[in-house]
Chains A and B, each alone.
Chain A
Amino acid sequence: MYRKQVRRRRAVLLLLVAASLTLLSLYYREGNGGPLHGVQDVVSTVFSPIESGADRALKPVRDLVNWFGETFDARGENNKLKNEVATLRSQLAQNQTQAQEAKELSQLNELTSGGIVPSGTDPVTARVVGRSPTVWYSTVTIDKGSGDGVRVDDPVVAAQGLAGKVTQTTPNTAQVTLITDADSAVTARVTPSGATGVVEPDVGNPNDLQLDYLERGSNIAQGQMVVTAGFSTGNLGSIFPPGIPIGKITRATVEEQQAYQRVHLEPFADLRDMDFVKVLTTHSGGSKG
Chain B
Amino acid sequence: MILTPGIIARLAVLGALVAVAQLVCFSKMDVFGTSPDVALLVVISVGLLGGSLTGAVTGFSIGLLLDCLLFETLGAFALTMLSVGYVAGRYRETVGRPTRAAVALLGGSLTLLGAVVIAAIQIGTGIDATVSFLVVRDAIVKSLIGVVLAIPVLLVVRLVVRSALVDERRAARRTPAPRPVESG
Contact = CB atoms under 8 A, between A and B. Distances in A.
Contacts of A24: 73-76, 79, 121, 125
Interface string A245-276: 00000000000000000000000000011000
Given A141-B69, A203-B131, A273-B30, A135 B138 contact: yes
**Most chain B CB atoms below 10 A, which of A12, A133, A204:** A133
**Most chain B CB atoms below 10 A, which of A22, A70, A134, A168:** A134
A44 B20 CA distance: 11
A65 B31 contact: yes
Which applies to chain B's interface (DSSP): helix, strand, loop or mixed?
Answer: helix
Nearest to B131: A203
A289 interface: no
A40 B24 contact: no
Interface stretch (B1-9, B32-40, B97-105, B152-160): B32-40
A54 interface: yes
B23 A130 contact: yes
A54 B60 contact: no
Nearest to B22: A133
Given A20-B79, A130-B70, A203-B135, A28 B125 contact: yes
Interface residues of A, number: 58
A129 interface: yes
Contact of B53 (A8, A27, A47, A137): A8
Contacts of B56: 12-13, 16
A136 B35 contact: no
Contacts of B71: 40, 44, 139, 141, 167-168, 175
Interface in A1-58: 8-9, 12-13, 16-17, 19-24, 26-28, 36, 39-40, 43-44, 47, 50-51, 54-55, 58
Contact of B60 (A16, A167, A273): A16
B57 A54 contact: no
Interface of B: 16, 20-32, 34-35, 37, 39, 52-53, 56-57, 60, 64-76, 78-79, 82, 86, 115, 118-119, 121-122, 125, 127-135, 137-138
13 contacts: A8-B53, A13-B52, A16-B78, A24-B74, A69-B29, A69-B32, A130-B24, A130-B27, A131-B28, A136-B122, A182-B122, A202-B129, A204-B134
Given A23-B74, A201-B129, A204-B133, 5 more contacts: A9-B53, A13-B56, A65-B29, A129-B24, A133-B23
- Sorted nearest first, the 8 A-B pairs with minimum C-beta distance are A23-B75, A204-B135, A20-B79, A204-B132, A24-B75, A43-B68, A58-B25, A182-B129
